[in-house]
Amino acid sequence: MLDKTGIAKRIAKEVKNGYYVNLGIGIPTLVANFVRQDIEVEFQSENGILGMGPFPLDGEEDADLINAGKQTITALNGASYFDSATSFSMIRGKHVDLTILGAMEVSENGDIANWKIPGYMVKGMGGAMDLVASAENIIVAMMHTNKKGESKLLKRCSLPLTGVDCVKKVVTNLAVLEVTKDGFKLLERAPGISVETIQQATEGHLIIEGPVPEMEL
């Protein structure tokens, strides 16, 4: 079973040369640490930077330079800053190649819920609804089950939706799955995890075709 770092490592392999990438808060933020060094990638943060660099060195933090998670960051050579309307023009206008975000639930038809638990937790959607409504390449990074052990890959989402029919791929601590018109197609297993374990942890329709390879990290 993978930990959060492992999920990030696996997703990093989906980042290709020449991509502009938007990383959500949580596990997705870790992905930047594992992208191959020999390819050119630029990270966009929707609060208004393209060409986001690593966290600053101690003592070099700048209150005017943060990411969408409100953490202090740095800007790489070639970076640019812009206003929020311009930022979402990049997103809505499909100029961003890959969006990686977290989720509370994903359904077998690609719906995603990640912004609200009615009566309990309401943090807001931030930029997530804009991202999932427009991005053509959306990968969800999440644990396969919740803290109660219940599946987060469902037939239908039970929580208020963030977007409909939009998620293309899900990477969890157990598996890599593609969202197809027929359900979740199992592409890879986490090291040491059996197909049966994944089947048990998946409420939505799971498609298993032939032997399922173990993921390479």
User: Annotated catalytic sites, by residue?
Assistant: 46
Query: Which has the closest alpha carbon to 71: 35, 42, 122, 32?
Result: 32
Burial class (CB within 10 angstroms; exposed 0-12, middle 13-18, buried 19+) of 33: exposed
77 binds another protein (CB under 8 A): no
Size of the site for another protein (CB under 8 A): 55
- In order of 112, 189, 201, 202, the CA distances from 193 in angstroms are 25, 6, 11, 13
Residues in contact with another protein, shown as a per-residue x/- string from 107 to 146 under the rule CB under 8 A? ----x---xx--x--xxxxxxxxx--xx------------
Q: Is 150 in the site for another protein (CB under 8 A)?
A: no
Our finding on whether 54 is near another protein (CB under 8 A) is yes
Half-sphere exposure in the Cβ direction for 82 (13 Å, CA): 17
Alpha carbon distances (Å) from 116 to 6, 104, 108 = 26, 9, 20
Which among 11-19, 35-43, 77-85, 147-155 is the span making contact with another protein, rule CB under 8 A? 77-85
Select from 38, 40, 58, 209 the one that contacts another protein (CB under 8 A).
58
| Closest to another protein by CB, 179 or 186 | 179
**What is the Cα–Cα distance from 13 to 130, expressed in whole angstroms?**
25
Under the binding rule (CB under 8 A), the answer on residue 45 touching another protein is yes
Residue 34 contacts another protein per CB under 8 A: no
Give Cα 12 to chain centroid, integer Å.
10
Tell me how far apart the alpha carbons of residues 17 and 39 are, in angstroms, rounded to a whole number.
5
Contact 210/185 with Cβ under 8 angstroms?
A: no
56 vs 207 by CB, closer to another protein: 56
Contact residue for another protein among 4, 72, 200, 205 (CB under 8 A): 72
- When binding is defined by CB under 8 A, the residue of 71, 146, 158, 194 that contacts another protein is 71
DSSP 63: T
> Binding to another protein (CB under 8 A): which residues in 154-213?
160-165
> Which spans of this chain sit near another protein (rule: CB under 8 A)?
45-49, 54-58, 60-73, 75, 81-85, 87-88, 91-92, 111, 115-116, 119, 122-130, 133-134, 160-165
